[in-house]
Amino acid sequence: MKMSRDESIGLYTSHTVKNIIRFLTFHLKEFDVTPEQWTVLKRLAEQDGISQKELAMKSEKDQPTVTRILDILERKELIYKQRNLDDRRSFLIFISEKGMAAKDELSPFIEGLYEETILKGISEENLEVYKSVLAQMNENITRK
C-alpha cells in the first residue's frame, strides 16, 4: 500500500522539525536560551534597532510570540527597547552587549551542532537539492 503524501511528506516534515527543535532545546539549555529566543536574537543581531513588527516578520513569528520572547530576552538583559521617535506607539529593539556576546558564542556552537550531528553524512549536493525542494514547496504554498 502506497503511503499518502500527507503521511510521507507532511508528517515526516513535521516530525523532522520537531526533532530538530527538541535537539536544539536540549543543547541550548546550558546557555539558558530556547531555539525561539535564538531565532529572534540572531535576526536582531543582523539588523539592530528595528521595530517589533519588523522583527516579527524577519523571525517569521507572530507579534504575540515575539512580544513574549522579547520580554524574556529583556529580563535576561540580552536586548533593550527604546521609544520609537517616529511612532510613539512602538519601540525599537536593540541587542545589548551581553546579547551580542551570547550571539557570538552561540553562532559557532549551533553551526557545530548542525555540522556534527544534524547534517552528518549528508552531502552538500543533497543539501542543495533539499533546500531547492523546500523553496519550491514554499513558493507553491505562498502562491495560493
What would the grid cell of residue 18 be? 520537531
Residues 6+ apart with CB under 8 A from 42: 103, 107
Instruction: Tell me: pLDDT of 88 over 80.
Output: no
Instruction: Give domain status of residue 80, yes or no.
Output: yes
One DSSP character per residue, 2-35 reads PPPHIIIIIIHHHHHHHHHHHHHHHHHGGGT--H
Instruction: Give domain status of residue 69, yes or no.
Output: yes
Instruction: Look up the domain containing 100 and give its range.
Output: 13-143
Instruction: Give domain status of residue 6, yes or no.
Output: no
Instruction: Give domain status of residue 117, yes or no.
Output: yes
Percentage of residues in the chain with pLDDT exceeding 90?
83
Instruction: Give domain status of residue 2, yes or no.
Output: no
pTM of the model: 0.86
Instruction: Give domain status of residue 22, yes or no.
Output: yes
How many domains would you assign to the chain? 1
pLDDT band at 42 (very low <50, low <70, confident <90, very high): very high
The CATH number linked to 131 is: 1.10.10.10
Tally the residues of the chain. Answer: 144
pLDDT band at 2 (very low <50, low <70, confident <90, very high): confident
The C-alpha atoms of residue 26 and residue 20 are separated, in whole angstroms, by 10
Instruction: Give domain status of residue 1, yes or no.
Output: no
Instruction: Give domain status of residue 4, yes or no.
Output: no
